[in-house]
Amino acid sequence: MSRSAEIARDTKETQIKLRLELDGTGQRDIKTPLPFFDHMLDAVARHGVFDLVVDARGDVEVDAHHTVEDVGLVLGQAFREALGERRGIVRYASFLMPMDETLAECVIDFGGRPAFVWGVGGALDGRWVGGFDAMLAKEFFAAFANTAQCNLHFRLHYGENAHHIIEALFKAFARAADAACKLDPRLGGAVPSTKGTLTR
């Protein structure tokens, strides 16, 4: 059974179409008005080995915040729908991602409850990368955790270059999400929870 989802979101601020295949090969087609954000979404697909199509437009002449946050909301919704009842998934995963002088960590639990912890400190405050406000990374992941209904924790162990920090966070997320979404054949399709459900 295909674990996939196709989502459309149309508001006065953003217009987004997104397609996700969890069991993909890393194929991707990313189009937003923010080139560095495209680069980060490309990294999610490539390193998470997800098939991902994103076509997003937004009022970036006002601010990029709406576009970045809404793509996070839609991607989280796509994960939630693609995971379905979350039967047989590993559920928990973490990944430590080095990138030159930077070491970033992502820990995730697709346990059906949204929680978000941003242990990055002030490393990205007031910083920009290629016209991208670095703190929008936090808004993207917070939105994702809310609609994916997952616990999502980040920790920046150390790092100096803002580009490296953001990219390490996105790549750590990709690898952790991939590992947590995998099916564990030992579970025989059971829901990995003592409650018997991860969706209510």
pLDDT tens, position by position, 29-54:
999 999 999 999 999 999 999 999 99
Structure confidence at residue 190 (pLDDT): 87
CATH topology of domain 4-187: Ribosomal Protein S5; domain 2 (3.30.230)
Average pLDDT over residues 93-119: 98
Residue 2: pLDDT over 90: no
pLDDT of residue 1: 64
72 phi, psi to nearest 5 deg: -60, -45
Mean pLDDT of 106-124: 97
Q: How much of the chain, in percent, has pLDDT values that exceed 90?
A: 92
Which positions ≥6 away from 102 have C-beta within 8 Å? 156, 158, 159, 160, 161, 164, 165, 168
Residue 197: pLDDT band (50, 70, 90) is confident
Q: Which DSSP helix (H) or strand (E) runs through 154? A: strand 151-158
Strands 28-31 and 51-58: parallel
Query: pLDDT at residue 55 above 80?
Result: yes
- Phi/psi at 14 (nearest 5 deg)? -145, 155
